[in-house]
Amino acid sequence: METQQQARCTREAVPAVSRVAIIGGGISGLAAAKELAGHDPVVFEATPSIGGVWKHCVYRSTRLQTPRPDYEFSDFSWRNRDDPTFPTHDEIIDYLESYADRFDLWRYIVFGAKVVGVKFLGGASAGFTELWSGTGEPLQGKPMWEVGVSTGDSDDVQWYKFEFVVMCTGKYGDVPRMPVFPPGKGPEVFKGQVMHSLDYCKLNEQETVDLMRGNKVVVVGYKKSAIDLALECAQANQGEGGQSCTMLVRTLHWVVPSYSIWGLPFFLFFSTRFSQLFYERPNQGLLRSLLCRLMTPLKAGVSKFIESYLSWKLPLGKYGLRPEHPFVEDYASCQMAILPDGFFEMADRDLIRFRRSDGGWGFSENGVVLDDGTEVEADLVFLATGFEGKDKLRAVLPEPFRGLVVNKSSMMPLYRGTIHPLIPNMAFVGYVESVSNLHTSELRCRWLSGLLGGRFKLPSVEEMVRHVDGETEAMRRTTRFYRRHCISTYSIHDSDAMCADLGDRVHRKSNWLAELFAPYNNQDYKQD
């Protein structure tokens, strides 16, 4: 252990002027540090540890929703990658620390360094030129950003200059999304306790049990964090004196018990080049648009096939939890949740209950009031209402860039999921979702390394804006939940484009049969 700690020597000093800053030490920040190691990057991490959301925003029961082989870096496999169980958050942290050990990433990291602001040094017009950053070059031999950092408990801010900044602060954690209520309907009228899931994550196991045991609990939400929280509540309330946990479901989404549908592996439906032929991709041509239109009945049939299995396997009808929208809309927006073991068993034992509230809800003195006037009594209300990751960016970016973080569709307009056409000399990694966010971030960091290394040039600002607008429109036509920047139905095409930019092979399989019908995963993108 002592030898390991000695090997994990972090950066002791930050030069006044450097080439690359990376803000955030989660998965994306580590991938960026590894790919940009040739630029001796400075990684600012606000907390005392790496791991990001997996370290600071998980419950004790939280597991990955993806099998190990689908959630690993292309050049660093899990030691136990054949283990069929989904990894726990502790296993994920161990894997990330081992990755940092393997590639000696600790030497770039400054822990306890919170970025409180950035200043642009490039002039008022640099973000609004024909070429990105004025010249199209990401590294121009002079500082373009000044990064303000506070350390420890001090209010003092130290400023450091960089040619390029990579934002890896993530979409989850840190800034809770809080519902807004009309006067007299907010938590101020409730005599019990209200807690966001972010605050729940900070409690230890005994504290969570003590908090929920014997109390009437309402969990607001029906996504992964809400489902995990409700299960922990039910487990804490087993036995004499236990109370039911009520989930307040506002928007229904499809949930999946495993990656098998009627005995067929899930990847057959969405993760092969052949299966993705039928789904719209950004900026496609007329022939592909015609093909997608002709294949509409087939796509609907695939969605119905999956829905039939889920409706048979799970008691969705019994509890009024069967969504009216097609399964593919949840998959295309990365909203599909894998159910934890025992969830509906707890519902069958009446330890988890479900109440629908499509039109809104509010607080009363004794609990929550639904849109139909029904009151649900509660001692404790958990808000599993998500996070405002983009607000973290707005908090540190200066004007006018702060107002450009999202477009009119509330999406981050990122070319190749990385470069904002109107924010110069800065990249954003970790803001695009897929079935494997780790793979998505790793490939973007490799693409970014190629950009900074001069392996290719960016298109004009106008072309990049047109491209990201096309991406938004493709998502809008695929799913009603398009505001989540998710590439699940065209992930292979997305990877093809980055490989083509880098001059790498686009088709990564050994033969045409595998190219069409075998699933694509991280291992296909090992560097040649």
Taking the C-alpha atoms of residue 77 and residue 69, their distance in angstroms, rounded to an integer, is 8
How is residue 341 written in tokens?
Answer: 């073991």
Number of continuous H segments (helices) and E segments (strands) in the chain: 18, 19
Task: Encode burial over 345-384: b for 16+ CB neighbours within 10 A, e otherwise.
Answer: ebbeeebbbbbbbeeebbbbebbbbbeeeeebebbbbbbb
Residues 84-89: what's their mean pLDDT? 89
Closest among 107, 435, 100, 105 to 92, alpha carbons compared: 100
Q: What is the pLDDT of residue 124?
A: 67
Q: What is the pLDDT of residue 485?
A: 87
Alpha helices in 333-400 (DSSP H): 343-348, 389-396
* pLDDT at position 208 over 50: yes
pLDDT band at 347 (very low <50, low <70, confident <90, very high): very high
Q: What is the pLDDT of residue 123?
A: 73
Which pLDDT tens digit goes with each residue over 154-187? 789 999 999 999 999 988 878 889 999 999 999 9
Contact of 61 with 340, CB cutoff 8 Å: yes
Q: DSSP letter string over 65-89? A: SS-GGGSSBTTB--TTTT--SPPBH
Q: What is the pLDDT of residue 288?
A: 86
* pLDDT at position 6 over 60: no
Q: What is the pLDDT of residue 359?
A: 82
Closest among 224, 272, 254 to 86, alpha carbons compared: 224
Contact of 166 with 144, CB cutoff 8 Å: no
Taking the C-alpha atoms of residue 195 and residue 193, their distance in angstroms, rounded to an integer, is 7
Q: What is the pLDDT of residue 125?
A: 66
Which pLDDT tens digit goes with each residue over 113-123? 999 999 999 87
Q: What is the pLDDT of residue 1?
A: 45
* pLDDT at position 74 over 70: yes
Range with the poorest average pLDDT among 100-104, 150-154, 380-384 = 150-154
pLDDT band at 452 (very low <50, low <70, confident <90, very high): very high
In this prediction, what percent of the chain has a pLDDT beyond 70?
A: 98
Residues 293-315: what's their mean pLDDT? 94
User: SS3 of 387, please?
Assistant: strand
Range with the poorest average pLDDT among 3-17, 106-120, 470-484 = 3-17
How is residue 319 written in tokens?
Answer: 């509890």
Range with the poorest average pLDDT among 2-11, 139-148, 461-470 = 2-11
> Could you give phi then psi for residue 43, rounded to 5 degrees?
-100, 115
User: CA-based Rg of the chain, rounded to a whole angstrom?
Assistant: 24
Q: What is the pLDDT of residue 173?
A: 72
* pLDDT at position 142 over 50: yes
Q: What is the pLDDT of residue 7?
A: 65
* pLDDT at position 153 over 90: no
* pLDDT at position 329 over 80: yes
* pLDDT at position 489 over 70: yes
Q: For the whole model, what pTM was predicted?
A: 0.94
Range with the poorest average pLDDT among 60-64, 237-241, 508-512 = 60-64
* pLDDT at position 2 over 50: no
* pLDDT at position 3 over 60: no
* pLDDT at position 415 over 50: yes
Closest among 220, 96, 445, 488 to 328, alpha carbons compared: 488
Residues 429-441: what's their mean pLDDT? 91
Residues 246-251: what's their mean pLDDT? 95
Taking the C-alpha atoms of residue 46 and residue 57, their distance in angstroms, rounded to an integer, is 14
Taking the C-alpha atoms of residue 510 and residue 513, their distance in angstroms, rounded to an integer, is 9
Give the strand order in the sheet containing 193-196. 193-196, 380-383, 217-220, 245-249, 352-356
Contact of 144 with 121, CB cutoff 8 Å: yes
Q: What is the pLDDT of residue 4?
A: 55
Taking the C-alpha atoms of residue 374 and residue 359, their distance in angstroms, rounded to an integer, is 13
